Amino acid sequence: MIQNVAARIASIGANPNDSEDDRLKKSILVISSLMMASMAIGWASVYFAFREYLAGSIPFSYAILSFLSIGWFARNRQYGFFRGSQLLLPLLLPFFLLLALGGFENSSAVVLWSLSSPLGALLFAGRRQANSWFIAYLALVVIAALLEPFGHPSNLPPVVLTIFYVMNIGCVSIFTYVLLQYFLSQKEATLRLLHLEQEKSEHLLLNIFPAEVAARLKNKEQIIADRYENASIMFTDMVNFTPMSADMRPEEMVGLLNDVFCYFDTLTEKYDLEKINTIADCYMVAAGVPRPRCDHAHALAHMALELRDYIGRTKFGGRQLVFRTGINSGPVVAGVIGRTKFAYDLWGDTVNTASRMESHGAGGFIQISEGTYDLIKNDFICEPHGLINVKGKGDMNVWYVLDKKT
């Protein structure tokens, strides 16, 4: 029962299209207004009991006006008017109460309650509007100080004045402390969400770019382009993929490629290589970029052999697949191009030749150029395949990598 009443009070003036933040602010303002109006009635009763009728009528009037404002808001849902009235009432009425009681000392510094106005504006209206409310509060304090010599004694006993001092200072301090706690909790929650979003962004960036390149992108480096004198590039492509895919459902074809390339990704991580991209059924990977390494050709040869053996003994979707692989070694240029959907890519004759090694190769074999052969011949069993005519390059000596030397 109590929960239902509290929920209905909190939903006063809410609109279906309100954001969560707007809904929270409205409910906090309604609840705090009801609490302050109720406290004002108790305050008025004390003043009436000590025959301070003018002083008692001020918090009593505040309570009536506040209840009317809440009722108007519940009926018309005019949040701007409601917010303004609930900021204006606690700004002016404590000042009038101070005048009615005869100054700072005789009112137990009740004008401190006017501070709730700029603090509330900070929470409900934003920093810009809060500045104006705070200036108005300071102006009232100054005016009250100037009028202090013209004050008159009140009917409140000293002990009551002391109690009111404690209550005024204590309640306003509690209100300020709770508000600061709220802002700090909101700040911490925002920082946590921001941190999570940053982690997601960084994780996504690291899925697209090498860690070294991602760091340079975050530093807003304008042009990212590097030359590597010693690197190796490997292309591997599925044989007869086009006719095979014509007989497959789209989800079946994508699922098959995903299974294959996910395994390729594990080998890329295993040998600390850099996956450059995939184009249809072709997988491109590099060694020696962006992290130079002396065994770049060896690393790709190891991956190619493991890939060949795994594909040879595994069926994907009930199909036996065949890949042809080509590797070349030499200098490359690496960098990031594009403004949208930008990508890390490699360029140069070394890349083109590696692609030709794959396209001119045979299914189930790893074909390498002379540049790669010179680097790995002492550690791998390589079989000469003679001269092949490569488009744009002429006749080239090539080898097949058969196995590792024991």
d(CA 169, CA 387): 95
d(CA 109, CA 98): 7
3-state secondary structure of 339: coil
d(CA 13, CA 78): 8
Tally DSSP H helices, then E strands, for the chain.
13, 10
Structure token pair of residue 48: 């009436």
> Taking the chain, what is the end-to-end CA distance rounded to the nearest angstrom?
81
Structure token pair of residue 313: 């003994």
Known active-site residue 356 = yes
329 exposure class (CB count in 10 Å sphere: 0-12, 13-18, 19+):
buried
- For tokens 């100037």, name the residue: 146
Strand partners, 94: none
Known active-site residue 391 = yes
Distance of alpha carbon 31 from the chain centroid? 32
| Residue from 200, 356, 377, 404 carrying the catalytic annotation | 356
Concatenated DSSP letters of 360-375: TS-TT-EEEEHHHHHH
Q: How many residues does the chain have?
A: 406
3-state secondary structure of 62: helix
Structure token pair of residue 76: 């018309």
d(CA 225, CA 372): 24
Strand partners, 396: 388
Q: Which amino acid is at 96?
A: F
Structure token pair of residue 84: 């303004």
267 exposure class (CB count in 10 Å sphere: 0-12, 13-18, 19+):
middle
| Residue from 23, 75, 391, 393 carrying the catalytic annotation | 391
Q: What share of the chain is helix, strand, coil (3-state, %, to 5)?
A: 60, 20, 20
Active-site residues, by number, are: 356, 391
